[in-house]
Amino acid sequence: MAMLYVVTDKVPARERVDEMDAALKGSFGDDEMLFGVGVLPYEAGMRLRIMGDDPTILAKTNTMAWAVAQQCQANAVAPLIRKS
């Protein structure tokens, strides 16, 4: 399971939810993972929850979601996620 919360007032939350939903639906099959995208209370941003059995697919999905969120908010390429 992975979660991503994007809290911002720079962009309309509902538009970002639609963009995130379309990006994820077009990238993975229904049998690989489940996900849900929604608007945070008071239109404060968006949330994404991802569930799946394969940690590799979860990591790829989370990284892709981070990149989509960064592109939507800052109109810039997301930096690489590095873990040690």
- Residue boundaries of the structural domains of the chain: 2-74
CB atoms within 10 A of CB 27: 15
**Percent of the chain with pLDDT strictly greater than 90:** 8
Predicted confidence at residue 41, as pLDDT, reads: 93
Q: Report whether pLDDT(25) > 80.
A: yes
Number of C-alpha atoms within 13 angstroms, CB side, residue 41?
A: 0
Residue 67, token pair as written in the block = 């990149």
pTM: 0.74
For the stretch 29-58, pLDDT in tens is 667 788 889 999 998 888 999 888 888 888
Task: Determine the Cα–Cα distance for residues 19 and 80; give it in Å rounded to an integer.
Answer: 21
